[in-house]
Amino acid sequence: MTHLTEVLSYTIDAITGHHTERRPTEWPDLLGHWDGARLVVRDILRLPADHPVASPFPHGGTITVGDWTRRLAHEFAIHRLDAESALPTPRRTRFPTGFAEDGIDEYLAFLTPRRAPSPERDGVVEVRAGDRGWTVVLRRGQGPQLDESTPGTPDVTLTGPADDVYRALWGRPHAAGIVGDDTLLDPLAAP
């Protein structure tokens, strides 16, 4: 709850340019802050999808309200899995293929290049989810980048149904397969 409240606060700050108040430390206050932030975010996400806003990411540049909408959808989906895993009898939520594929794309094309550290060595990572595929090129001194034109054999492949690959990228329990040098997945690890 604390993390998601902070995410909502970052969203408000980025879209409105106004810094929100510091996060409360006591549960009742945190819950009230969450509810207020949720309502503000609901309203500001009604701005046009192409409306430019600030990015909170180290290598972010300008992003749009549409980017934030997508980012929040996947942020909350992943943390839904966390909440469900804490239940006495965890639910077996599976995300639809299209949503999970969009989450993989959002993670690799949008989030990773903006926040991932520079890798310690070069390599090629192939990510495959059903019929969809992404190639991530790792180069020392640069953030990981998607590059669909990279020829040759990947150094590591992450593959499986979209839901499992989505979970694997976010460091959640999954049944995706990994073939090759799995240490090359480290620069892609979720925060």
Residues 18, 81 share a domain:
yes
**Domain for residue 100, yes or no?**
no
The CA-based diameter of the chain, rounded to the nearest angstrom, is: 55
**Domain for residue 99, yes or no?**
no
pTM for this model (two decimals): 0.88
**Domain for residue 95, yes or no?**
no
Residues 117, 81 share a domain:
no
How many domains are contained in the chain? 2
Backbone phi, then psi, for 147, in 5-degree steps? Answer: -155, 95
68 burial type by CB count under 10 A (0-12 exposed, 13-18 middle, 19+ buried): buried
**Domain for residue 108, yes or no?**
no
The predicted structure's pLDDT at residue 37? 85
The predicted structure's pLDDT at residue 59? 66
The closest of 90, 83, 74, 57 to 166, measured between CA atoms, is: 74
**Domain for residue 52, yes or no?**
yes
In whole angstroms, give the CA distance from residue 126 to residue 155.
8
The predicted structure's pLDDT at residue 22? 67
**Domain for residue 142, yes or no?**
yes
Residues 119, 78 share a domain:
no
The predicted structure's pLDDT at residue 58? 67
**Domain for residue 23, yes or no?**
yes
29 burial type by CB count under 10 A (0-12 exposed, 13-18 middle, 19+ buried): exposed
Show the domain range for 61: 2-85
- Per-10-residue mean pLDDT for the chain, 191 residues long? 80 79 74 84 93 78 88 94 91 95 94 78 94 93 83 92 97 96 92 76
In the DSSP assignment, the letter for residue 114 is H
In the DSSP assignment, the letter for residue 56 is -
With H, G, I as helix, E, B as strand and everything else as coil, classify residue 133: strand
